[in-house]
Every structure is written in structure tokens, then in C-alpha cells.
Structure 1
Amino acid sequence: MRPLDHTDRPTRTRTEHDLLGDREVPEQALYGVHTLRAVENFAVSGIPLGARPLLVQALAAVKQAAATANRDLGLISAEQADAIVTACTEIRDGRWHDHFVVDVVQGGAGTSTNMNANEVIANRGLELLGHRRGDYRRLHPLEHVNRSQSTNDAYPTALKIALALSVDTLCAAMRRLAAEFAARATDFADLLKIGRTQLQDAVPMTLGQEFAAFAVMIEEDADRLEETKALIAEINLGGTAIGTGITTHPEYAARACAALRDLVGLPLRTAANLVEATQDVGAFVQVSGVLKRTAVKLSKICNDLRLLSSGPRAGLGEIVLPAVQAGSSIMPGKVNPVIPELVNQIAFQVIGNDVTVSLAAEGGQLQLNAFEPIIAESLHESVAHLTAGCDTLRERCVAGITADVAVLTETVERSISLVTALSPYIGYETATEVAHEALESGRSVTDVVLDRTELTAERLAEIIAPSRLVAPAPTGHISA
């Protein structure tokens, strides 16, 4: 991974200094020596911070809120604060993200991410003040941009803001998908079919009821995700290194939180116990758990879509999924359920990410969890892929699903499951005998019932009317 210089031409540099000594930093880079070392150390995923715009924008919001609070408390000058605020505003507007070059997977509990933000903001602020990049006597990444902060409170606060915003996007995608399933439920409201339990014939239902259940399952998980936002609204900004608030003004935490709340439009609140909040990543575990729950249920729904559409001649074939591409390089005419398969694979990944988050959360020690970068990336990946998966499933599959009415009708007529509806009228033992004879002889349940019981054709038709088969209905006595 190269920091900014994408050519083989000689690059002008500036000299910067840190704990380990001097290094040459590309002159055009807004980042500095700390970021440069992190780029060299963490060449892991190939994904730079700049590829995660919500996180970059959230970091800029944290730095802007901190600068505002520090200015109001007289801890930095108005000139310095204005430069920081302007630089942060530009970053929040989408500028300078290509200077956020540290790999999203990194050691150091997010320190490199925080330093990348500090250096970009400081150097852009220096330009705004009319000074050259790297002239940190005027505006320093640590002395001014990072004033009253530690990575250990600034970074997790930014993670929570980015996560809250991305969860909003996912919830919207889920509700759109649920609405599409509900629309298909309306289309299929009068289509009778056979329900199945343990892949065996059960009792009649409508295809509309089946699709309505899918809609409810998804809508329900969108509600659960919304609930997690209350947890991630609690932040530890102002706790600095371990939650004691060392190096901060007594009013800083409240002022910074209020400024940040106004900037991002979220109901953020300062944790009651900042020592606890600095080491506890339980909110991330909770969100990950709900994402896993969502993934599991989406995958189950996609399994059902694949089963219901299996065939077209040798499977269930009750529904037809829209054909979106040819399915085989060897079998002409074959079309596969590729969109549900895609969502299945997304679900597998989200479940794996939840394991990663769980292990990273458990691995925290004493006053800090050092593994928040992998928690952040796992959650980002899960939310992003689920969002894309929901939209893709809705647009390229669910919206185009049709029912094969002939298959549904034939299946109902051949099924022996009608005996369940008849059991209250002819008794369980007789119903069992009817089912056995119908299965062995190949005759219909209705024919066998008329032969073996005293039910008339008119009464039988009334009992097995579709409206009575798919909802509670008054029953007669066994002697009827």
C-alpha cells in the first residue's frame, strides 16, 4: 500500500519527527509521520480508512466538537479552533478522504486511525492559516487537534456514530424488503397451497400467508436493530485514556458531547461511568448479535425461496423466481436461484463476523479493549453487505416472483393433509384410516371420506372450503 504517491516519479518530501526519529513524508500528503509508520506496519486488508466514509466523517465530527469545547474553555485559541473546525467541515463534506490511508485492520486499539485524523486535520488547518504542511508549531496534531482527547475515547465515539448512521441505512433497506414481501402476500392472498413441516405435507395455507410471514420476520428484526441505537448513543468522550478524564477540563465532557450531538443529529449522551464505558464494548456485541439474528432469518427465507422454486419440473415449483442470468456452462436452459444464494452467503459471512466481534470483545483486558479496529471492520462489513443484500433481493428477486397456480392447485388436490381439517368431524382414528387408504390407493381424500363416513358431499365441501382451511373456524362434533 502506497501513501498517495501513485507514480514512479521522484516525490518531494518534508521531514517529520516522532518518538522513533526522523522520516521523510511526501510533501503533498496531509498525513504525517505517525500515519506513515502505520501504513508500513499494517499492510493487511488493503482497505484504507478513506474507503469507510462514515467513519472518517464521524472522526471529523468528534474532532470538531472537541475543538469547539476546547475553544469555549480557553484551551486553544479561536484561530486554531476555527482552522480545525473548517478542516473538519471539509472532511465531513467528503473532501480529503484519500489522505486517510491507514489500513482499517491495525494494532494499537485504533491509535493509528486517531493519529491519521489528527495529522490530516492539522495539516489542512495549517494551509487554511497560510502555513506550510508540517509546521506544527502553529497547529499541532496532538497539542491542538487532539486536545482533551485520547484514542480511547475519540475512536470508539466515532465508531458508534458511524455505526448508528449505517444501521439507519440497513433498517431502511430491510423495511423496503419487508414491504415487497407484503406486496407479494397481497398478490397471492387467495392462492391455496399445502404448508409443510419437516419437509412433509402439513395443512393447507395460502401462499399469501407464507409471504406475509416473511414480511413480518424482516420487519421485526428492523425493529430490534432500531432498539440497539439506544445503546450506541452512550459515548465515553471525555474519559481520555482509561475513563478518569485526565488532561480534561471539568466541563469538557458535557460541552463536547453537546457539540457533537448538534453536529451529527443523534441523541448522544455521556456515559454515567466513563471508566466502565472505556473498557466495555458490550454495545458492539449487542449490535453484532442482532445483525446475526437478521442474517439467520434472511438466510432461512432465502432457503425457503429456493425450495419453493425448485424444479422447474422435478422440484416443488410452486413459485417462479425471475431469471436474471443463465445458470450453467454445460446444461442448456438451466436457471439457478442466484440472488437467494447470494444472500445466503452474506448471512454466512455475518455469522462469522459475529464470532469475530465476540472473541474481540472477550479479549479485552483491564481498562481497555485493544481490538476495536477488528470489531469496527466486522460490523461495517456486516451492515454494508446486509444492506446491499436486502436491496438486491428486493429488486432482482422478490419484486418479480410469480406463482404457478396449476402446481399449487394440483398439490392441494393430491394432498392427504385435508384429513387434519376433517379430524374434529370424523375423529382422529377414522381420519388416520382415511389418510392411509388415500395414500395407499391413490384416491383423493374426499372420495375416501364419502365412502367411509356419513358426511354428505355438501357438508364435506363446507368443511374443506378454502376460507375454513386457512383460519380458525367453528367445528362440529365427531358424531356429525
Structure 2
Amino acid sequence: MADSSRLETDSLGPVTVEARHYWGAQTQRAIRSFAIGPDRMPMEIVHALGRIKKAAALGNAQLGVLDEQRCGWIVAACDEVLAGRFDDHFPLGVWQSGSGTQTNMNVNEVIANRASELGGGQRGRKRPVHPNDHVNRSQSTNDVFPAAVHLAAGDSVQQLLPSLTELITALSTKAAQWTDVVKIGRTHLQDAVPLTVAQEMGGWAAQLQDAERRLRDSLTGLQPLPLGGTAVGTGLGAPAGFGELVCEHLRRWSGQNWHVAPDRFAVMGCHDALVDLMDRGGQLAMGLHKIVNDIRLLASGPRAGFGELRLPANEPGSSIMPGKVNPTQCEAVAMATVQILGQSSAVTMAGCGGHLQMNVYKPLLGFNVLRAMALLRDCCRSLRVHLVEGLELDGQHVSALRDRSLMLVTALAPEIGYDAAARVALHAHAHQIGLRDAALTLGVITAERFDQVVNPHAMAHPHGEPPT
């Protein structure tokens, strides 16, 4: 064996590992056995496992099943893992055992080898800290890995929410600038009755506020953890009170209400909280998709489309057509939200993958939830910075489209009847004249009364001005 490698052993025997790596035999076997696709296990899950291993070492020491010296070495090694020092030593992909065993052991091995160094020993055979006996003490992949996914998912929601709140604020600020601008509404992409620009944009903000509330509520569902359940939920191999002690440390470090699940069998055999979170993320994705589609319709043109909104010119829009500005932010977010909805479908299917005491889609669940939350966070930030804050309104064009609309005739229906109002609209359209001229030509109303009844601003506020 060359000096650049060392022997690591597991229950199946010795494995050669390059000397520079901190992982051990099981990780090396997994590198060979699970070379499936380019997707790496998210570092958020690895770091969450590091937090749990640190809390577990402290809990084990408190309960007298781990000596204080080894506990100290493990805690120090975990702190280095959490600082990102060993990120390159977690090479495994997502597509591995459905329990996440290979990643759990990867973390155990790296921590054990580093803790052994801190204790004056060596990596490999002569290490004083064992990955199973000490780092994984009182644990199983089956309770630790899903707990790590919950921790990482909770962090991802906390990182998403500020970006979402800032986008909502930006939309509300824009809406407040245009409270007095009355435009024509559209249903079925055809002219409808008037509303204000603020009402339209306020609807977008309200849709996102609802999604924000649902995402905040999802945090409560993530907080029950299966720690202490070990292999199937009974807690075999863990001392009484271990899970509670680990959660106590996690709560203190994060400020989140992590606690042992009332029924660990339920949260180990299924992962409904993760499916629920992904559903809520999917709702936000649908809301963003709807909003960007609305914006690119309203900004279409600028002269041969709706042309009501003016997009910020972030970059040239065409390699051949000079001066073109395209709704690129809308397109980027639309693609990202479609991706998220696909991830949501995968998570829903994975949530059905519980058989008896275990769901065997844990890495997929963690990977898709975390990637979706990160995409949503970036979408919210990018939309705010590169689209909403620079959005402008062509007020003159908005007014012209409103005043030309045939559906202002809706205000006449209570006055002259539906059928007569319909004749006015059809006559105006057939002869390409305004509603007022058509109504006067047909003799269904006086000019004075028409001007009183057909008032776009009043139509947008049929019950009076909203409170400010």
C-alpha cells in the first residue's frame, strides 16, 4: 500500500482510502456503489447531521454512555464540520439507500477520524473514536437522517421568508403609487369591467401573503423529531431521555421548538410534514407563476400588445432586433416555478413510499424540498430587484384602453336593461364608434344620464372608496 493511502475497515472488511480523505470504509464503498447522476447530497443536510451528532454526543455524555473526553473530541470535530472545513469530504450523491444510511455513515466517519486526530490518534484502524460506537451512539440512520432533513428544511423556510416578505412589500408599494389609476379589467383575456391598478397589484400581493402565512405555519409541522426512536421507533439501543436531551440542545442553539415527536413511529414510517411543506412551496410557485404571466401580458408590446406596464431594461432582448426589451425575469421565474411544481410531484409520490416502519425515499425528499425552497427564495429576490422595483406604468395608454372598452356598457344594464345595453355594445363594435355615440344613436339614454352612469372610477369602487 502506498504512503498516499490507508486501510479503513468496516463489518465487510478492509477498504483502501486515499490518505487525504477523512471519510472511511463505508463512504468509500458508497462512492463505488452509488455513482448515479451528478446530484450531491445537499450540504444543508450534512451540516444538520453535524448539529445532531454534536447534540447526541453531549446527550450521551450527560446520560453516562459516552466518556467526557471522547465527547469533547466529537463536539470539536462537529464544530469544524459546521464551520464548513470538511465540506469536500462529503462526496456522496442523492441516489443512495432510501434511508440515507451512506450519508449518515459518511458524517460519522469524517467526525470520528477528525475527533481521533484531536485526541492524538490517527485516522483509520488506530483511531480512539469509532464512527458507530461513539459518533453514532444511541442513534440510527432511521431517526437521525429524517431529523436532519427537518432541521435543514426549517432553515430553508426561514431563509425564504424574508425574500418573500420583501417581494410582497415591493408589490404593495407599487400598488400604493397607482391607487387612483383606473384601468380595464380582463376575464377570458377579453375586456371586462374597470378596476384600479392598485386593486390588480394588491391581489398579487395578497396571494403571496397567503402563501407566506402557509409557509410560516409549516414550521410547526417540521418541529416534531423522531430522535431517540433508533431503528423502528421503539428506542432500542438508546437510553431513556436521550431524544429529549438532544432536542433540548437543538432548541437552545436554534431558537426553534424542536422536540421529540409524540409518536415516533408515525414520523419515521411517513414524512407527511415534508410533503405538506412542499405542497405549500408549490402554492407559492403557482402564485409566482400566475403573477409573472400577468406581468408579461400587461407589458406585452410595447406598441403591438397590451402595453400597460413598462419593464426595466436589464439587458438587450435580442441578438438581431435592436432595442428589444423582453420579459426575461418573468420567463426565468416561470421556468423555475415549473421546475418546483415538478419537484412537488416527486415529493408527493415519495411521500407514498412508506412501507411498514420506514419511508425509503428520504434523500429524494430532502433534496427536492431544499432545492425548491432555495429556488423560491432566489425567485422572490430576483423578481423584486430586477422587475418589480423598476416596473413603470403607461398611464395615458391605460386610460385610452379603458375608455375604448365596450364593457363599460355594463354600467348601463341596470339603467336600460341587459338587452338594450347589449345592443349598444354590439352597435358600437360594428360601427367602430364609442359607446356614448352608439347609445345616443339608438336613443336608449340621454347624453347627460350616460355621463352620470358610465363612470369608470365609480365602477371600480361600486361601494365607495376603500378605507385608507
TM-score band, normalised by the shorter chain?
Answer: over 0.9
* Residue of structure 2 in register with 1:420 after alignment: 410
Aligned mates of 2:163, 2:380 — CA distance in 1: 6
Deviation track 1:204-226 (CA, whole Å, cap 9, x = no partner) reads 11122111111111111011111
- 1:286 equivalenced with 2:283 (yes/no): no
Output the amino acid matched with 1:330: I
Q: Is the 8 A contact 1:14 1:24 kept in 2?
A: yes
The answer for the alignment partner of 2:13 in structure 1 is: 21
Partner of residue 141, structure 1: 131
| Equivalent runs, 1:278-357 vs 2, <5 Å | 278-357=268-347
What letter matches 2:141 in structure 1?
Answer: T
Say whether the 8 Å CA contact 1:156–1:372 is kept in structure 2. yes
1:17 is aligned with what amino acid?
A: T
Contact 1:110 1:151 in 2 (8 A): yes
Counterpart AA for 2:360: A
Which residue of 1 is the match for residue 24 of structure 2? 32
Equivalent residue for 1:129, pick from 116, 119, 123: 119
Indicate conservation of the 8 Å contact 1:323/1:335, yes or no.
yes
Which of 439, 448, 452 is the equivalent residue of 1:449? Answer: 439
Query: Which residue is equivalent to 2:363?
Result: 373
Alignment RMSD (CA, Å): 1.7
Maintained 8 Å contact 2:228/2:243: yes
Residues 61, 264 of structure 1: 8 Å contact kept: no
Query: Hey, what does 1:259 align to over in structure 2?
Result: 249
Within a 5 Å distance, the mapping from 1:17-96 to structure 2 comes to 17-49=9-41, 52-96=42-86
Q: Measure, in 2, the Cα distance between the counterparts of 1:169 and 1:423.
A: 51
Deviation of 1:175 (Å): 1.2
Aligned pair partner of 1:390 in 376, 380, 383:
380
Q: In 2, Cα distance between the equivalents of 1:244 and 1:261? A: 23
Letter in 1 for 2:9: H
Alpha-carbon separation, structure 2, partners of 1:221 and 1:276: 27
Equivalent residue for 1:408? 398
* Deviation larger for 228-237 or 460-469: 460-469
Q: Is residue 2:453 matched to residue 1:463?
A: yes
Q: Tell me how far apart the structure 2 counterparts of residues 186 and 464 of structure 1 sit (CA, whole Å).
A: 25
1:270 match = 260
**Alignment partner of 2:358: what SS?**
coil
Which residue number in structure 2 is paired with residue 3 of structure 1?
Answer: none
Quick one: distance in 1 between partners of 2:327 and 2:159? 26
Cα distance in 1 for partners of 2:108, 2:443 equals: 85
Q: What's the offset of the Cα at 1:281?
A: 0.8
1:11 to partner: Cα distance? 6.7
Q: Is the 8 A contact 1:11 1:26 kept in 2?
A: no
| Distance (whole Å) between structure 1 residues aligned to residue 28 and residue 253 of structure 2 | 30
Distance 1:414 1:466, change over 3 A: closer
> Which SS does the other structure have where 2:85 is aligned?
coil
228, 247, 255: which one aligns with 2:218: 228
Q: Tell me what 1:478 maps to.
A: none
The one of 150, 155, 161 aligned to 1:165: 155
How far did residue 463 of structure 1 move?
Answer: 3.0
Give the letter aligned to residue 371 of structure 1: Y
* Greater shift in the superposed pair: 59-68 or 403-412: 403-412
Deviations 1:310-362 (A, max 9, x none): 11221111111112222223333332211100111111111111111112121
Cα deviation, 1:61-98, whole Å, max 9, x if unaligned, reads 11111111100110010001111111112222332112
- Unmatched 5+ stretches in structure 2: none
What residue is the counterpart of 2:192 in the other structure? Answer: 202
Contact 1:118 1:142 in 2 (8 A): yes
Letter of the aligned partner of 1:280 in structure 2? C
How far does residue 425 in structure 1 lie from its aligned partner after superposition? Answer: 2.1
Shift of residue 13, structure 1, vs aligned partner? 1.2
Give 1:452 deviation, angstroms.
4.2
Report how far residue 148 of structure 1 moved. 0.2
**Could you tell me how far 1:43 is from its partner in structure 2?**
2.3
Amino acid in the other structure paired with 2:7: T
Contact preservation (8 Å) 1:170, 1:386: yes
- In structure 1, runs of 5+ residues without a counterpart are 1-9, 475-480
Is contact 2:50-2:82 (8 Å) kept? yes
Q: Distance in 2 between matches of 1:264 and 1:45?
A: 33
CA contact (8 A) 2:9 2:24 kept: no
Normalised by the size of structure 2, how large is the TM-score? 0.95
Q: Distance in 2 between matches of 1:79 and 1:135?
A: 19
Give the whole-Å Cα distance in 1 for the aligned partners of 2:374 and 2:55.
27
Kindly state the Cα deviation for residue 448 of structure 1 after the two structures are TM-superposed.
2.7
Q: Secondary structure at the match of 1:417?
A: helix
Q: Structure 1 counterpart of 2:78, which letter?
A: C
Question: Which SS does the other structure have where 2:338 is aligned?
Answer: helix
